[in-house]
């Protein structure tokens, strides 16, 4: 498995574009996202993650979110996406 992609601490609107680009570049490979440093996850960034989850599922590759930080979990839960994106960890 290639190196995990470490998510930026501040995944704001601007971060969403970078994240989308970073993910697109790793398309077609199994991927682990290191979410340990995330302090804030914005809805636009969550959108990207959600789309990535679907894309990877569609490609038949694995996309894992490793070591999610508490703020990351909280933000996802607030957005109603905790179950969708973090199920592998639970």
Partner 1 sequence: MSMDDLRVTFFQECEELLEALEFGLLEINEGGGDDDTLNAVFRAVHSIKGGAGAFGLDDLVRFAHKFETTLDEVRAGRLENAPAVLKTFLRSSDILADLVRAAQEGTEVPPGPVEEVLAELETHLPTEEAAEDEEEDDFQPLGLDFDFDLGGDDDDAGPPVSGPDVWTIAFKPRRTLYERGNETVLLFRALAELGELSVTCDESALPALDAMEPGEAYLGWTARLATEAEEGDIREIFEFVEDDCDLTIALAAPEAEAEPEPTPEPVEIEPLAALEAEAPPAEPEPAAEPEPARAEAVAPKAKAEAPKATVRVELDRVERLINLVGELVINQSVLSQQVFDAGIAANSEVATTIDVFKQLTRDIQEGVMAIRAQPVKSLFQRMSRIVREASGATGKTVRLVTEGENTEVDKTVVERLSDPLTHMIRNSVDHGLESPEKREAAGKPAEGIVHLSAQHRSGRVVIEITDDGAGIDRPRVRQIAVEKGLIAEDAVLSDSEIDNLLFMPGFSTASEVSNLSGRGVGMDVVKRAIQSLGGRISIVSEPGKGSTFTISLPLTLAVLDGIVVEIGEETTVIPLTNVVETLKPTAEQLHSMGNGARVVRVRGDFVPVVDVGYELGFRDKAEGLDDKVVLLTESEGGSRSALVIDAIQDQRQVVIKGLQDNYGTVHGVAAATILGDGRIALILDVDSLVASATKTKTDPDHSLAMAG
Minimum CB separation of residue 41 from partner 1 in Å reads: 7
Residues in touch with partner 1 (CB under 8 A): 10, 12-14, 16-17, 19-20, 23-24, 27, 40-44, 46-48, 50-52, 54-55, 75, 77-81, 84
Nearest to 86 by CA among 8, 78, 76: 76
**Shortest distance in whole angstroms from residue 68 CB to partner 1:** 15
**Cα 45–Cα 37–Cα 33 angle in degrees, nearest 5:** 60
Residue 20 CB-density burial (10 A; 0-12 exposed, 13-18 middle, 19+ buried): middle
Shorter beta-carbon distance to partner 1: residue 36 or 42 = 42
The least CB distance from residue 53 to partner 1, in Å, is 9
């Amino acid at each position: 498995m290639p190196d995990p992609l470490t998510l930026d601490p501040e995944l704001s609107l601007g971060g969403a574009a970078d994240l989308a680009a970073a993910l697109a570049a790793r398309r077609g490979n199994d991927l682990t996202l290191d979410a340990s440093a995330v302090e804030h996850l914005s809805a636009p960034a969550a959108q990207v993650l959600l789309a990535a989850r679907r894309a990877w599922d569609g490609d038949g590759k694995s996309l894992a979110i490793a070591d999610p930080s508490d703020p990351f979990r909280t933000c996802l839960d607030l957005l109603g996406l905790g179950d969708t994106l973090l199920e592998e960890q639970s």
